[in-house]
Structure 1
Amino acid sequence: MSLYPTTLFHFSDKESLYGILNHNFKVSYAREKIIGPNNFREFAVPMVSFCDLKLSELKYFLTYGKFGIGLTKEWANRNGLSPVMYINRHCELMDNLISGINGIYMHLGFVDNMSQFNSLNKSYQNIMNTYRYIKNYDGELWRDGKLENDNYRFADEREWRFVPNLETEGVRPFVGISNIRTKKQKREFNSKVNHIRLRFTPDDIKYLVVETDKDITDLINHLHNAKSRFDPEIRNRLASRILTIEQIEKDI
């Protein structure tokens, strides 16, 4: 018996779920902060995030929204998703990693722009790419500028990420936090990756999650209106795969 499920979940609000069903996943820049015993780095990475959780575990991790979609790991593998690498913020390894990245910046005179990144030796680019898949095992959880938890265990989410290829034209693989502090700055950067889609077919969907029973009807109506993507046979099949948060919390 495997400890891990065969499904990856992405949670959001109702409007965002409907947008995903209509237009696939949109890539956006997510702010990250990695911390070591004596050092830290803040940056933003273009990505789409998922959690590798069983249905029975979802009730504990609904901080990202109460509307979700679960897709197969076969789909994830075809599209090159990967689990993130969790590193303890209290260990020397994290400090060494941050110091190494800082050293590359200083040694190469690296400034946060695409032309200089593209001029790097391929080996340096590959080293910098690991930076996009690193997360602290635990730490402070911030939402909309507010501290929600001062010792949140990120590893409990078992995050997987889709991150655009390094060679994706016109897309910065990461940006310094000073360039994306405000909502206006974030909108500007997200507009530059708005064309990138993480695509799936209806056959890749294992579950759809909504908040209440009323939302089931709304979702079925939405699938009906998106006729170009969800024909009657597909809609009927997906309707049988809709779960509510109440079911998950009480019965699973």
Structure 2
Amino acid sequence: MTHIVQDSLYPDILFHFTNRKALFDILRSTFKVSYAREFITGKNYDRKFAIPMISFCDLKLTELKNHMEKYGSYGIGLTKEWANRNGLNPVMYISRHCDLTDDFITGLNGIYNHLDKLNNTDKFEGLSRSYTNILSVYQYLKNYEGPLVRGEKLINKNYRFADEREWRYVPNLRDTGGQPFIPISKIDTHEKKMYYNQKIDHLSLNFQPDDIKYLIIEQDEEISDLIRHLKNVKQKFDKLTIERLSSRILTAEQIRRDI
């Protein structure tokens, strides 16, 4: 029987974009989990918090141009097979004009209020575990569209986040004592964010050289630096791997101009 390959709107690769130093660090060691700010808004309520995660986009090469302008011109593309092995999941986009969004926000507030009132330790631990399982859904929610803020700067007051087709890696913190949510007030300075990120510094997302499909840098002049860096990371990239990856290096200039 002939196997028919089905065309899809989605590629078989997930990309992560960042700056040059961070990309080189990822290639030297691996992805490190850190707390990221999130803002969910509904018709009447909103909630700001931080989640420990690593973000990726489910975009084809032809769709990367606008994404790089917001998140950096240095990227790594890994297979979806790798993503599935490691439990990554697509974000669920919700409209700020829908009652469902307000229901999630008020539900989260109600759970925390309930837990605060419990005095029985055994009952608290049982409910806490059950609530944590439910609240894990909250870690994969994102507004369909809303304000895009990078640093402290408003980039777009009505940005369509769904265009990014985001996937997330969110570690299971149930048995590690880590916090799946942190109020935004606790990471509103660089020092505070560093403090909480140090608490989860042991959490990482690993990959093997064969999981990499593309490496993206800003300019042609940096290709030799990247290849040299791969050679220096000898314990991870052997000669054959470096040769394969060298043919998979793209530049942001090339993507903007030719793809």
Amino acid at match of 1:7: I
Counterpart for residue 49 of structure 1: 55
- Partner SS, residue 257 of structure 2: helix
Instruction: Write the letter of the residue equivalent to 2:46.
Output: F
Separation of aligned partners in 2, 1:22 and 1:74: 22
Distance 2:18 2:147 in 1: 21
Could you tell which deviates more after superposition, 159-168 or 239-248?
A: 159-168
Equivalent pair of 2:129/2:174 in contact (CA under 8 Å): no
Letter matched to residue 96 of structure 2: R
Q: Find the aligned partners of 1:220 and 1:175 in 2 and give their Cα distance.
A: 39
> 2:183 — aligned with what?
176
Q: What is the aligned-residue RMSD (CA, Å)?
A: 1.7
**Structure 1: unaligned runs, 5 residues or longer:** none
Contact 2:18 2:72 in 1 (8 A): yes
Q: Which residue of 2 aligns with 1:89?
A: 96
**CA 1:191–1:234 in structure 2 vs 1: closer, same or farther (change >3 Å)?**
same
TM-score (norm 2): 0.92
Which SS does the other structure have where 2:178 is aligned? coil
Q: 1:157 to 1:125 in 2, by over 3 A?
A: same
Once superposed, which parts of structure 1, at least 4 consecutive aligned residues long, lie more than 2 Å away?
115-123
Look up the match of 1:134. Answer: 141
Aligned to 1:29: 35
Does the CA-based 8 Å contact 1:104-1:110 persist in structure 2?
Answer: no
Q: Is the 8 A contact 1:110 1:117 kept in 2?
A: no
Give the whole-Å Cα distance in 1 for the aligned partners of 2:57 and 2:64: 9
Which residue does the alignment assign to 2:3? none
Determine the structure 2 residue equivalent to 1:7: 13
Q: CA deviation at 1:98?
A: 0.6
Indicate yes or no: 2:201 matched with 1:191.
no
Tell me how many residue pairs correspond in the alignment.
Answer: 249
Shift of 1:120: 2.9
CA drift at 1:166: 3.2
Q: Work out the percentage of aligned pairs sharing the same amino acid.
A: 59
Q: 1:73 Cα shift? A: 0.1
Gaps of 5+ in 2: 1-6
**Aligned to 1:250, what secondary structure does the other structure show?**
helix
Q: Which residue number corresponds to residue 66 of structure 2?
A: 60
Deviations 1:176-196 (A, max 9, x none): 112111111100000111111
Render the CA deviation track for 1:111-162: whole Å, top value 9, x for unaligned. Answer: 9xxx998553433221111111110001001111111110111110000000
In the TM superposition, what is the alpha-carbon distance from 1:170 to its structure 2 partner? 3.0
| 2:86 match | 79
Name which one, 1 or 2, has greater alpha-carbon Rg.
2
